[in-house]
Amino acid sequence: MQDTTALRPDVPSPPMYGDGTGQPLRRLADLPGPRALPLLGNLHQFDFKRLHRTMEQWARKHGPVFRVKFPTGAFLVVADPDLVGKVLRERPDTFRRPTVLSAVAAELGAMPGLFDSEGAAWRDQRRMVMQAFAPHAVKSYFPSLVQVARRLQRRWENAAATGQAIDLGGDLRLYSVDIVAGLAFGTDVNTIENGDNVIQRNLDAILPGVARRTLMPFPYWRYVKLPADRRLERGIAVLRDAVTDLVKQAKQRMLLDPARAVNPPNMLEAMLAAAAQGGSGVTEAEVAGNVTTMLLAGEDTTSNSLAWLIWLLYRHPDALRRAQDEVLRCAPSLDALTLEQVDRLDFLEACTQESMRLKPAAPFITAEALEGTVVGDVAIEKGTIVLCLMRDTSPDNTRFENAAQFDPGRWLQDSVNRKASMPFGAGPRICPGRYLALLEIKVAMAMLLARFDIASVATAHGGEPDEQVAFVMAPETLHMRLRVREERCGSGTDRLDRQ
């Protein structure tokens, strides 16, 4: 593993110029932080699945800017949303994603995609991907999205009829994979009805495995492979073969029907058409890399955001009732659902914002300084890792009134501090899938609230779900029980669904 965090002795000291306050700048070594052991630093205090929690506790204790030590060096932790936004906006020129991420991916033989590309390659890919995710492109995909929601509805109707508990996270992952696969490759993988497929099965091992390796201070897997490493390497190889196959099939379709290159019906074919044209700067390997990236970036993020939202609504009956009333008033039937109806679900959208504020899919985003620079009043050297905490840790409710409360109504007030919550990141690398993700969430919720009453959502121990981070912050396993809403029984839904 590359040493990305070290303050290397061969790098010159940062300039000690002022930041406009006339005060000398602080350096990493001047910052407060948790007490560290000589060689280990703070490593012994990390539980990697709960790393965000530890960092948030330290932010409350040491303030919004502090340092943490790793055996490989020290890194800067920033919890102030203004500073976080500044760091994220200064990509790709002053900051990049940590080198260790692309190094781990390259060592695994993963094909690079938008998430782990930098510089000119990132710019070219970003332009191409943004076209595929433009609101009009996502809108044209709306009917397919509703079809996937119908399949989930049928699955949940069966569970309700037989009194079965639904594995919430598992079912929502099937939903999000089917949607991304349909939009990105034009492939109806239908994992909801056919069970998980080879892609779905192997996706689950990849993000946690990569996240683990990026955090390890020593590349032990080069000497000893643990079961998790074998799962990760197998997952990458299987996914690479599956994606290569998808690309081959798409090329064949385009060869047989050249009109597809002019008006590509999905993202994969649009990327292949762009790569073939030349001048796009995008290679065929990058096309394959982005197919994998979309699957990885679009699955767990959306499904876990939905799971957290359902959990929070269940725990807040007033908000749940209001969201359900809104759905029954504005979007009462999945069969007749239109984009205009979805756009009218303002309270549901507010619930989603509020849920992502309290339970962001990415509770931290890391960046690496490409040059010596200044963050707030701290001068950092090239190569320093900045860990940006994405959840509000201010102790005094300055950014959000009653910050710990689930209060969706705050998002309907003009006065809400929108910039202090960044569930999709910020700046040039902000999530390109955010419009699709919000649409996916609203369609699933409209289906759920129009067709069912939520009887229960619970962990095995009956308490609050633990937050588990493996790249994405997931709740521990939640089981949901549903009742079909009386007034909708025998409606035309079943008939239409089966056509």
Quick check: 68 binds ligand HEM (CB under 6 A)? Answer: no
Question: Of 38-46, 144-152, 357-365, 442-450, which segment contacts ligand HEM by CB under 6 A?
Answer: 357-365
Preceding peptide of 92 cis, ω within 30°: yes
d(CA 28, CA 368): 14
Of positions 214, 305, 393, 493, contacts ligand HEM by CB under 6 A: 305
Nearest in space to 247 (alpha carbons), one of 213, 287, 274, 204: 287
* CB-based burial label for 422 (10 Å; 0-12, 13-18, 19+): buried
Quick check: 169 binds ligand HEM (CB under 6 A)? Answer: no
Of positions 297, 342, 389, 444, contacts ligand HEM by CB under 6 A: 297
Of 7 and 375, nearer to ligand HEM (C-beta) is 375
State which H helix or E strand residue 203 sits in.
Answer: helix 198-215
Quick check: 181 binds ligand HEM (CB under 6 A)? Answer: no
Site string for ligand HEM, 70-109 (x = CB under 6 A): ------------------x---------------------
Q: Are the beta carbons of 344 and 331 closer than 8 angstroms?
A: yes
Question: Of 7-15, 22-30, 214-222, 298-306, which segment contacts ligand HEM by CB under 6 A?
Answer: 298-306
The distance of closest approach from Cβ of residue 144 to ligand HEM in the complex, given in angstroms and rounded to an integer, is: 14
Main-chain phi, psi angles of 157, to 5 degrees: -65, -40
DSSP label at residue 282: -
Of positions 169, 423, 465, 475, contacts ligand HEM by CB under 6 A: 423
Residues 6+ apart with CB under 8 A from 462: none
Nearest in space to 349 (alpha carbons), one of 425, 416, 429: 416
Alpha helices in 433-475 (DSSP H): 434-451
Question: Of 12-20, 46-54, 300-308, 375-383, which segment contacts ligand HEM by CB under 6 A?
Answer: 300-308
Quick check: 293 binds ligand HEM (CB under 6 A)? Answer: yes
Quick check: 180 binds ligand HEM (CB under 6 A)? Answer: yes
Of 141 and 452, nearer to ligand HEM (C-beta) is 141
Preceding peptide of 264 cis, ω within 30°: no
Of 73 and 432, nearer to ligand HEM (C-beta) is 432
Quick check: 66 binds ligand HEM (CB under 6 A)? Answer: no
**Scanning residues 104 to 123, which ones bind ligand HEM (CB under 6 A)?**
114-115
Of 76 and 365, nearer to ligand HEM (C-beta) is 365
Quick check: 433 binds ligand HEM (CB under 6 A)? Answer: yes
* CB-based burial label for 335 (10 Å; 0-12, 13-18, 19+): middle
Quick check: 192 binds ligand HEM (CB under 6 A)? Answer: no
Question: Of 167-175, 208-216, 431-439, 477-485, which segment contacts ligand HEM by CB under 6 A?
Answer: 431-439
Quick check: 320 binds ligand HEM (CB under 6 A)? Answer: no
Could you give the 3-state DSSP secondary structure of residue 470? strand
Tokens at residue 424, please?
A: 């999709």
How many residues bind to ligand HEM according to rule CB under 6 A?
A: 26
The distance of closest approach from Cβ of residue 246 to ligand HEM in the complex, given in angstroms and rounded to an integer, is: 15
Question: Of 79-87, 143-151, 428-436, 481-489, which segment contacts ligand HEM by CB under 6 A?
Answer: 428-436
Which amino acid belongs to residue 97? Answer: R
* CB-based burial label for 331 (10 Å; 0-12, 13-18, 19+): buried
Chain-centre distance for alpha carbon 484: 31
Q: Are the beta carbons of 484 and 157 closer than 8 angstroms?
A: yes
Nearest in space to 347 (alpha carbons), one of 377, 370, 313, 314: 313
Residues engaged in binding ligand HEM (CB under 6 A): 88, 114-115, 126, 180, 293-294, 297-298, 301-302, 305, 361-362, 365, 423-426, 429-433, 436-437
